[in-house]
Amino acid sequence: MYRKIIVAITFFTVLLIYTSCSQAEDSQESTNDITGTINSSPVTDINTDTSTDSSDSETYGTDTIAPDEQDIAAIINRNLDIIAEDFDDNDEYGSIAKHAKEFEEIVNFGEEALPYLDEVHTTAEVLYMNFQNMRAVVAMHAKYAIKPELYDREYPSPDGKYALKAAIESFVTGLNPFMGFSYYLSIIDTSDGSVLVTADKAYDIYGSFFNPQIKWSPDSQYLTISESYRHYYYVTYAFDIKNSVFVHLPYEEELNGLPGWSTVYTDSDIGSELNCLYCYFGGWGEDSVRINVCVGMNAGYEVYLGWYEYNFTEGKVTAHEYSPGSEYPSLTEITESNDIGEIINKNLDILIDGSDSFNSEQQFIDAHPDEYNAIISLGEDALPYLAEISSTFKAYDISVENNRGIMARAIEYAIMPELYDRVYTSPDGKYMIKAEVATFFGAVWGGGWTTQYGRFSVIDVSSDEVIVSVNEIDDYDYCTMFEVSWSPDGRYAAVEYSDGRFYTKTAVFDIAGADLILLPRDAEIKQLVSAEYDIDHPDYYVLEWLDGGKVKISIYFRCGIVSETDGWYVYDLEARKIVDSEYTVIYY
């Protein structure tokens, strides 16, 4: 009953907001509406009693068989319940310590526990902290205790002597799709693993954009890393390996202390005060870094304010320029001082010239093929410079200048596709799913661009043979967001794909059968639950893999403002049909 009350309250809240704001939404999309994550809609806990005493909801389905208490999954499930009942999201480690015996019993199963913990992890809902999410967070902690490399990350320096190590501090922050996990950051010596410099606290780094926010200096003595939250702020910090210090680069208070500077700016074009501050990496100098400063509003609109140069040896700003409203500068360190940099910058300037109406890479290339090929011909030598330029890309910026960063990515991809293609290896290491970039000009809800993926291929790792490949999944051209879930035996791989707002659906690759199985679509689900109205905002994804070639799929959708359906079905992948289901319909 608790689960359904939460769903009902959430729905009525959304309905009230929709009713009061519908006219405004018709004229302008709001970025606050973007969910932007797989598995973002409410799901049913498979261990929760779905019966209800409300006359407005009905439950359908068959009885499930209780698991064997000696089974690993059952033992893990029982201990997760105990820990989650007493879970405090403000002190996740303390909560686990209260039930150290139960947590240890899960961890003692070792890697045998990982497949089931993965299934529990996928039940997490964004922006909620309920019992189900508490179980998911504990499951992530158990996975981390068993195999830290599943979550910890290392980013080596150009000379290979050092690496930035990011170690998990909190999984709870990851429930916010606009933040990501919280990490402890340090610089390590790769020869012996010793820690050289440590950040002063844990930082919330947006997982999807972690790598592009890391910038090593060419001499491997400095590194910048940025922390951001949606459009509200963008802060850049630095590791000074040479002097063994972590540096808070100048931000709001320090910038306002510079002569003539103000980080609050009233834009005459829109008549609004801009007070969200963004400090972006702008290039390396000799023992110094340049930071470009912009100010904006939380809807993504930005205005360039100026730049400053911070000298690590002197520990202060040694140069700056305040010129609000002027054009965002190109990166300075990769231009005139280097022939390759000059070639790239000169040809990129021509490549993006007159591109206000372009919305695909091919349009840029067709307009200026010689300039495009001039950069491509530089090969891998061009990659460090292109990486600097591509880091200036902003997802919600549709300006011509932002095209420079996007086309730098496109050229990087043409030179070395593995920089952006994504690979998911099967549990036994025999196969992999490869997702290839279709375009860097994929539309973002609210305006702007993102990377979209098109071709998905199943590849035999030993022979590099393509077993099955599709140019697009289902009737959707490209995938804005997706995740891959392998069955424990490596026979099947589910691709959960989404447009980031209106749907999440699932298709399954049958490795042995060399086929893509499209799981039941809206029409079949509508028939399954006898829905009277058309389905909207469907959310279908893998809950767990079952024995005998079966998979359990979560279903959630709305029928306008009439009803909401939440449940699951079991699909037999060999027979290609639904063999079991349970769902609850709530009417309004």
Distance CA 96, CA 282 (A): 42
DSSP letters for 510-547: ETTTTEEEE---HHHHHHHTT-SS--EEEEEEEEEEET
Distance CA 108, CA 434 (A): 33
Find where tokens 């850049």 sit: 236
Distance CA 405, CA 547 (A): 47
3-state helix, strand, coil in the chain (%, to 5): 30, 35, 35
Distance CA 476, CA 474 (A): 6
How long a stretch of residues is the chain? 588
How many other C-beta atoms lie within 10 A of the C-beta of residue 337?
9
Q: Which two tokens stand for residue 533?
A: 């109205």
pLDDT at 448: 66
Q: Which amino acid is at 237?
A: Y
Q: Give the pLDDT confidence of 49-103 residue by residue, as tens digits.
A: 333 333 344 433 333 333 444 588 889 999 999 998 887 766 788 888 999 999 9
Distance CA 342, CA 318 (A): 26
Beta bridge partners of 58: 585
Assign 3-class secondary structure to 409-427: HHHHHHHCHHHCCEEEECC
Distance CA 79, CA 68 (A): 15
> Taking the model in full, what pTM does it have?
0.49
Task: Determine the 3-state secondary structure of 450 from DSSP.
Answer: strand
Beta bridge partners of 49: none
Whether residue 334 contacts residue 386, with contact meaning beta carbons closer than 8 Å, is answered with no
Q: Give the pLDDT confidence of 208-225 residue by residue, as tens digits.
A: 334 447 888 888 999 998
Q: Which amino acid is at 554?
A: S
Taking alpha carbons only, the member of 570, 540, 578 closest to residue 556 is: 540
Distance CA 323, CA 293 (A): 10
**Whole-angstrom distance between the N-terminal and C-terminal Cα of the chain?**
16
Distance CA 227, CA 213 (A): 8
Distance CA 532, CA 463 (A): 50
Q: Which helix (H) or strand (E) holds 136?
A: helix 131-146
Beta bridge partners of 557: 565
pLDDT at 431: 93
Distance CA 99, CA 78 (A): 12
DSSP letters for 246-296: EEE---HHHHHTSTT--S-EEETTTTEEE-EEEEEEEEEETTEEEEEEEEE
User: In terms of C-beta density within 10 A (0-12 exposed, 13-18 middle, 19 or more buried), how is residue 90 classed?
Assistant: exposed
The average confidence (pLDDT) of the chain is: 78
Orientation of helix 72-85 relative to helix 131-146, angle to 10°: 120
Distance CA 495, CA 38 (A): 11
Given the DSSP bridges, would you call strands 276-285 and 233-240 parallel, antiparallel or unpaired? parallel
Distance CA 154, CA 187 (A): 9
Distance CA 475, CA 440 (A): 20
Name residues of the chain where pLDDT drops below 50. 1-69, 206-212, 331-338
Taking alpha carbons only, the member of 236, 157, 252, 158 closest to residue 203 is: 236
